[in-house]
Structure 1
């Protein structure tokens, strides 16, 4: 048995930690030396699935410190995850999935997150720690003919441990520097003989922050997570089983600070760029080296969220197949507080969008595994409601920071024209926008996939999906001046004070609507070239539903919202893929290749709104983008002592055509180009800025051309304190090359490539005891997770430094 489990390390994208002993359960984790997955909604060896899929067991995730989806990026090169806070997060596969920038609730993620077959519409779920996870599968490429919710870029399929009819338990505790403490545990066993079983699990994580806020004298960007999960399995008959699951997850960290990284020249007048403005206030950031990890944010930080729900899954053997029903209700509550100006000055002391969301979903699937034909037929219904009550308020420094004071010498605290609105703090101080935002979404779908085993080697696999989406929303922004009186911006006010207030925060109201049907599908041919060699080719035609803009619209000359951009068109995806899955040396080596070519018409992108006080933008369609590349995965276990793995991806990516794109900061902030005029050179203070930019041929944001992960583990049998076991040493590393951190590539916004290395040394036994020390980011590499443009074209670039070196000890056992 142990030899079989060790051979399971030779799976696509696995880590050596997967080879650890795993107790037998109702779900067979390994089969014929390979990990069993349910990527095609049936249990089968990962090497027999004609999909590019990486899978990880719960044991391997714990060993490598991969506690959530974001951490998986160090193991799976084709997965990207970006987060400025839990709400503003995005999971992309092969660089596709969600626009890069602040979240707009009116569109959908292109990467689906499923937990126990339940679709999670809120990407914030990806920021929570895994609790009692059996395995995680990362499926690359469109997944619409087997999954309830259509996903154009891929899916992350998370399966938790099922209730067991044999009593069992698990306990894991970790502690480390930065006051890190994490505890996880689960128990399971029968309640009524072999008919009713229960499983209870919990996990909690705390860690001190990595950024010190000198203003509040506190560490921020901390971790404070709690997760609870319970499930009941009732085997009503030999043919029918019912599983009820409930979960609750809460985060309440003081988070999320973005801090000074650098300043770049824009086309704003020089006296209105960051250095001159800071000098006018006598202000300096606490450090101009982001890796001093200092902030001086003067607004409270909070990233409170809770997410949870209840699901009922029924599996009934009917006729030649199995009928599966998945019913679910989920909720998400979000209570943030941010410092959106990224400085210690009172410019925008309030910027928050508290939200409450409910979702309901129902899926029916009927699956048959036959000698010549396998098929799955399904229907899916989904509905969500979300209510957001946002607010943004300007402070006493907003007028001077935001408005044009005239020709002021650099470093001068005075104003050339004392009557200028910029010299009067009262013009913008207390200016407040209160937003009431509603969203309703309904999706209906019928889908199916057939696998025809033409011969023992050749399989043809067509799939089809019919989808209907309807979205309706309401956006109402009411703006009050510092005296609490609503301002009116249409018609254009005669007062220069009110005009400047309207240019900063403008009232607007609109009610966007979208509905559409689409038909998509895929076709895969797979052929067994030999017993352990599978070749496949896939073409997929997929669609990502159109969306509605729910973060405010650009205004016309009369300060009315431009209603023509209330909606964005659906993405139209053409995806081609060729793959090869191989095993050698008695299945001790696995080598898999995948080549892909994806083109998207009407790519949903984020466009700057033009507002001078906010970094928010609205959604628009880029005419066409293309992503293509090659992925390789190697795992090798020459003997029972040593295991090795290496995964790599080359990704070529660009906007094929995007002519109305937002301009980068070096081309922003200047005067508007009139007919016959030419925009100024990038970074020309007081120059002329184009209204939009043609970024055709430029990089897409967030994608590295090269990315790798690699690792090794070596063990030696030994006896410790009378226990037979093995001492082991492991290393896991990753690298990604330079990537753009802005929708329009900027000379200031590239994140340099970086490599990370994690180490572990421990002792484990076949009975389940495992004690190991670990070091993550062992070389203390300095890197940025992402960079962000701050409001107003001042040239200030903020960012999030990645975690420094951390170290600690983990102990776990099973009983």
Structure 2
């Protein structure tokens, strides 16, 4: 933290004598203005953003960007990253628990599957300019949020950490020198209770201001465990944030922030969704295995929302940190320093066999993560012939993980061939235990900058460069015991193999972009962008695949960097006296050495490992539109067509219908999909298939109508609002499978309320109004049994929210 203070105070002394008044609002004031405008009705007024590290209107920024104000977040119920996807068609978010969460933009960002700490995320998450290294550390409830900016496409020449797919910028409300307070209370079905409050004002003098905010969210689970009587996939979140703003002069401000978040819900469960035929012999597929154990799931209809998983579930996490952000206005430019420290402690318990049999009785990977970051940049003020942003960034992260996996008495039946002696004996795998000790150090440093040349009053050309260095060091040790103190058998090593390796990666790379923007008319702006970007290489920290002798394949310990070529054309327009906004963007992105999560033919593999696919391509068209025909009525519609495919991936994991049989010898043909006891290919060529998790079509849309009204002495307006979203069919498996396709679905949300002129807002809400039954994710039970498990989306919910600003 002392870096910020020393640099800015030193510069302040130098500049004090001849400092000139800035020709724009200070960064702190501009953020407050952006928040006020950002909550205005769509289709009217200018929305101010700082996406390019200077204050601009969203319509003049040559970037595909969407802005959601704090009021819109509250009224639509988008109180975390997951719920943003219903408002942003090109944003995808997948989560089986907080740690195993991934955010993608335009289908890119993180490989689909269980999280591997050894690689970077392609979508950067920033909260008040502080980079959050893992999407898991951003799975908190939005509290006292001013606005959220979602930037699409590579942003590495403007932001500290390289972001090859886009960035999500969360801005909280800044401390105010005018006393103010806000409170928001919500209650609903499923025993949902959420309370948010904030207070701000000056301290001691007019140079020091404080802001405190807090939130609590609790909700009963949506899935009932018939064994324990508990409702799973609940919510139990608490957060606290404090900010102290010191403004000793008109040109210098320093903001010290701290936050703490605690979550401890009964979460997270996936359970029986359906069964598909694999190439295992019939007596080794799920139906026969369950019958042989005398087992039946409570229901084969997943939307009965019942399960009997027999391992206690836990998704406990503590996360927080501190930051010091300083801005020094020199007149012609502003120097900004962002110093930050963050931590994330994860304490889980999972049921990774997904049923009520003791196949895997313990699956937990507690993890402790810590990061330090320092960003220093200078950005020009005002519109000049040449505008610029220059910056330096340093980041260091450590992760310590203690993994534990224990097999139970049913593991032998599910994971071993019954024709072998070991496969017939439940004791073979009962008590087989893997204790994993995983260490990781990640260091990154970068120089970045972007120059904007105003060739004419209407034409600007903006090139940018980034020099980046990444270094990763890992240590993976897996100690496997069978509980009897005897040497491991071949059957046991095939399920859980001892491993010890120390992967390393380091690399320099140079990337850049160039944007040409042209103001066709006062309210028509066009732009074209080319970016050459890189996503750092990584190391495997979830264990390595095994060869035929059940020995780890050490050549799989590292993965190469992704190389990105990105092209984009955009048009931003407003017309009919700015009552209509229509923005269009077309993009084409190609990635070589795409980092994918894959598996091998092991029956006992629970976690995938990382490998490089040859090449992927995503292309599409997006639109954002809003129309406000009168002051009482506004509508919006956003949409995206995304065509994302593997261009070349010749050695991919096979889908379940081609897995589980005898592995084909060289030159031997594979059996037809779903042939019991068939021949399975060693791997599959999925070139030309769609990337997982991505819908070709996605839309969000809505409207609001209001009428003047009074309630007693309160003057205000009554309003009716609707928000809808649609996603077409997408695959929930890295290799497309008929068993794991998630059908397209549409969701509808309504709200009816009264908004008073004095800041009171009372509204009732109905979400998933038509109780649509849909899956957020589908996954496979390990061992090619054919069991497909799912995570249903929330059912219909309803409630009431009361908020007041003072």
Find the counterpart in structure 2 of residue 8 from structure 1. Answer: none
Q: Which residue of 1 aligns with 2:26?
A: none
Aligned residue among 769, 792, 808 for 2:783: 792
| SS of the residue 2:573 aligns to | strand
Q: CA shift at 1:563, angstroms?
A: 1.1
| Structure 1 residue 427, shift from structure 2 partner | 0.9
| Mapped partners of 1:609, 1:433: distance in 2 | 19
Residues 401 and 768 of structure 1: CA distance in aligned 2, closer, same or farther (over 3 Å): same
TM-score, scaled relative to structure 1: 0.94
Query: Aligned runs of 1:110-125 on 2, under 5 Å?
Result: 110-125=122-137
The question of 1:685 aligning with 2:686 is answered: no
Superposed, 1:187-198 pairs within 5 Å as 187-198=199-210
Q: 1:90 to 1:190 in 2, by over 3 A?
A: same
> Following TM superposition, by how much is the alpha carbon of 1:559 offset from its aligned partner in structure 2, in angstroms?
2.9
Aligned partners of 1:630 and 1:650 also within 8 Å: yes
- What's the counterpart of residue 770 of structure 1? 761
**What secondary structure does 1:47 align onto?**
coil
Tell me the distance in 2 between the aligned counterparts of 1:568 and 1:249: 33
Give the 3-state SS of the residue equivalent to 2:74 in structure 1.
helix
The TM-score with structure 2 as length reference comes to: 0.95
CA contact (8 A) 1:657 1:695 kept: yes
Aligned pairs (5 A) from 1:41-190 = 41-190=53-202
Q: Could you say which residue in structure 2 is the equivalent of 1:712?
A: 703
Q: Per the alignment, in what secondary structure is the counterpart of residue 59 of structure 2?
A: helix
Which is worse superposed, 715-724 or 198-207?
715-724
Distance 1:25 1:514, change over 3 A: closer
Residues 23 and 122 from structure 1, CA distance in 2 versus in 1: closer, same or farther, beyond 3 angstroms?
closer
5+ residue gaps in structure 2?
A: 1-28, 39-43
Residue 553 of structure 1 contacts residue 609 of structure 1 at CA under 8 Å; is this kept in 2? no
Tell me, yes or no, if the aligned pair for 1:99 and 1:606 is still in contact at 8 Å.
yes
Q: Does 1:371 align with 2:345?
A: no
Following the alignment from structure 2 to structure 1, what is the Cα–Cα distance between the partners of residues 154 and 68? 20
Shift of 1:23: 13
**Corresponding position of 1:29:** 36
Q: 1:600 aligns with which of 591, 608, 624?
A: 591
Contact 1:672 1:690 in 2 (8 A): yes
Distance change in 2, residues 1:29/1:81 (3 Å): same
| Structure 2 SS opposite 1:600 | strand
CA deviation digits over 1:40-66, x for unaligned, max 9?
111111111000000011110000000
> Does the 8 Å CA contact 2:33/2:48 hold for their aligned counterparts?
no
Q: Which among 328, 345, 356 is matched to residue 368 of structure 2?
A: 356
**2:328–2:334 CA contact under 8 A, matched in 1:** yes
Whether 1:512 aligns to 2:497 is: no
CA contact under 8 A between 1:428 and 1:482: conserved in structure 2?
A: no
Residue 626 of structure 2 corresponds to which residue in structure 1?
A: 635
Match of 1:382 among 373, 384, 395: 395
Structure-2 separation of matches of 1:345 and 1:706: 39
1:200-219 equivalence runs, <5 A: 200-219=212-231
| Greater mean deviation of Cα atoms: 731-740 or 120-129 | 120-129
2:465 corresponds to: 464
Would the aligned equivalents of 1:131 and 1:184 in 2 still touch at CA under 8 Å? yes
Matches within 5 A, 1:513-528: 513-528=504-519
Quick one: distance in 1 between partners of 2:86 and 2:330?
42
Aligned to 1:659: 650
**Pairs within 5 Å for 1:753-764:** 753-764=744-755
SS in 2 for 1:256: coil
The answer (yes or no) to whether the contact 1:478–1:486 under 8 Å persists in 2 is no
Q: Distance in 2 between matches of 1:26 and 1:66?
A: 22
Distance 1:554 1:729 in 2: 55
Q: Does structure 1 residue 402 correspond to structure 2 residue 415?
A: yes
Secondary structure at the aligned position of 1:793 is classed as: coil
Higher mean C-alpha deviation, range 645-654 or range 362-371:
362-371
Is the CA contact (8 Å cut-off) linking 2:599 and 2:605 kept in structure 1? Answer: no
Deviates more, 1:556-565 or 1:270-279: 556-565
- 8 Å CA contact 2:66–2:151 kept in 1: the answer is yes
- Residue pair 1:609, 1:616 contacting (<8 A) in 2 also: no
Q: Is the 8 A contact 1:358 1:384 kept in 2?
A: yes
- The aligned residue for residue 529 of structure 1 is 520
Question: Does the 8 A contact of 1:136 with 1:156 survive in 2?
Answer: yes
Inter-CA distance 694–607: structure 2 relative to 1 (3 Å threshold): same
Task: Report the Cα distance in structure 2 between the residues aligned to 1:353 and 1:457, rounded to whole angstroms.
Answer: 55
User: What secondary structure sits across from 1:663 in the alignment?
Assistant: coil
Unaligned residue ranges in structure 1 (runs of 5+): 1-21, 407-418, 489-497
- Runs of 4 or more above 6 Å deviation: none
Query: Does the residue aligned with 1:197 lie in a helix, a strand or coil?
Result: strand
Q: 1:517 to 1:148 in 2, by over 3 A?
A: same
Tell me the residue number matched to 1:613.
Answer: 604
Shift of the alpha carbon at 1:731? Answer: 0.3
Deviation at 1:597, TM superposition (A): 0.2
Shift of 1:34: 1.4
- Give secondary structure in 2 for the equivalent of 1:638: strand
- Output the CA distance in 1 between the equivalents of 2:497 and 2:601: 12
Task: Quote the residue 1:673 is aligned against.
Answer: 664
